[in-house]
Amino acid sequence: MAGKIYGKPVAFAVMATVVILVGSIVTMAYPMLRPEMHPRLDALKPFSALQLAGRDLYQREGCVGCHTQTVRPLASEVARYGEYSKAGEFAYDRPFLWGSKRTGPDLARESWLKPSEAWQKRHLRNPQEVFPRSNMPRYAFLEQAKLDPAETASHMRALMRVGTPYTDAQIAAETAALAGKTEMDALVAYVVSLGSAVPKPKIDLAKLDLATANPHGDDPAAVARGQKLYVDQCSACHGDDARGQEGTFPSLVDEVFLGQPGDGTDGAYFAIIAGGSDAKGRLGRAGMPDGGMAAFAGQLTDDDIWDVISYLRAQKAHEAKETPKTEAGEHGQPVEKHQ
């Protein structure tokens, strides 16, 4: 009997189909019936119109070819990117965009790591301006194109049909607000939203004593450790020389702190580094814009943060001595920066 099937093409094809379907059903179809394949984090919200338009662009430009969006539960990945990815973060992802190649860094925790829209735009316009040896293409052309609210509205309605909880009123209101926005605005809004459904480690800002002096002082070992951390974590925005970027990222070596004259205390520096933009309320600085500064409490230990402050103080002292005769850049180290 066994040999007969090789003379009966239809029976053969039916048998081949059955054989093929066994594994497909067990590993692909059956899991869909299980609740573990349909989790949703409580904090997860559907993409806003602007974020969805950005996600569409993320797809259009093939960002997924170089950037992953899934942090694996490995110590080194959690240290680099933050909390590992949860199944419940992706309930509204159609399709998933986890990617399979990390030519550039993972973006799953971009809302934790690079929340500044100004930085994202600067980097997208010309990545080599931020990281001279980066191989990322320039995306300045996204600023030339305006979004089409009607198109995004039709995309939202399609998603509504497959269960994304949008309402007609929401679609109308959110897409109307897209008028005049550029593709760059949308892509950046999407990217800085990544990972926001997962609670980021926070410190209790209220408990901080802003008068605390840096326990590491000007210890040269602390300055050296702080320099490495600064290059890895801070220089992408505040510059190799810590002088910042006019209008966006403040200089860390001048006599202005968070938009007001006069430098901050060590404790105030600690608060803004550990708490990011959330520390604004605690510090009471009206001159500081909302958002933009990442909170480093999860990534850096208290000692790390004091090291960075030691380095910044040393840098400032150095700057004060050198400024009259040299231009910036001398202290910038040719070490590669952290992403």
Could you say which residues in the range 100-159 bind another protein, by CB under 8 A?
Answer: 100-105, 127-128, 131, 133-138, 141, 151, 154-155, 157-159
Minimum Å gap between C-beta 4 and another protein is 10
Axis-axis angle for helices 49-60, 183-191 (nearest 10): 100
Nearest CA among 317, 270, 332, 261 for reference residue 297: 270
Site mask, another protein, residues 216-235, x = CB under 8 A?
Answer: ---------------xx---
User: Do the Cβ atoms of 174 and 44 come closer than 8 Å?
Assistant: no
Minimum Å gap between C-beta 114 and another protein is 12
Q: How far apart are CA 250 and CA 269, in angstroms?
A: 13
Q: How far apart are CA 245 and CA 257, in angstroms?
A: 14
Range in contact with another protein (rule: CB under 8 A) among 88-96, 190-198, 255-263, 307-315: 88-96
The 10 Å CB-count burial string (b at 16+, else e) for 231-253 is bebbbbbbbbbbbbeeebbbbbb
Nearest CA among 280, 235, 278, 276 for reference residue 253: 235
Using CB under 8 A as the binding rule, the residues of this chain from 249 to 288 that contact another protein are none
User: Do the Cβ atoms of 174 and 49 come closer than 8 Å?
Assistant: yes
Q: Which of 1, 42, 76, 199 binds another protein (CB under 8 A)?
A: 76
In single-letter form, the type of residue at position 97 comes to L
Question: Residues binding another protein: what is the number (CB under 8 A)?
Answer: 88
Using CB under 8 A as the binding rule, the residues of this chain from 13 to 72 that contact another protein are 13, 16-17, 19-24, 26-28, 31-32, 34, 36-39, 56, 59-66, 68, 70, 72
Q: Which of 1, 7, 262, 334 binds another protein (CB under 8 A)?
A: 7
Q: Which is nearer to another protein, 150 or 320 (CB)?
A: 150
Minimum Å gap between C-beta 316 and another protein is 24
Provide the Cα torsion 120, 124, 126, 127; round to 10°: 80
User: Do the Cβ atoms of 123 and 98 come closer than 8 Å?
Assistant: no
Minimum Å gap between C-beta 65 and another protein is 5
Nearest CA among 32, 12, 10, 30 for reference residue 22: 30
Q: Which is nearer to another protein, 145 or 317 (CB)?
A: 145
Q: Which of 43, 45, 74, 318 binds another protein (CB under 8 A)?
A: 74
Name the 3-class secondary structure at 325: coil
Q: Which is nearer to another protein, 30 or 259 (CB)?
A: 30
Q: Which is nearer to another protein, 77 or 278 (CB)?
A: 77
- The yes or no reply on residue 98 touching another protein (CB under 8 A) is yes
Q: Which of 47, 50, 82, 90 binds another protein (CB under 8 A)?
A: 90
Q: Which of 123, 216, 243, 338 binds another protein (CB under 8 A)?
A: 338
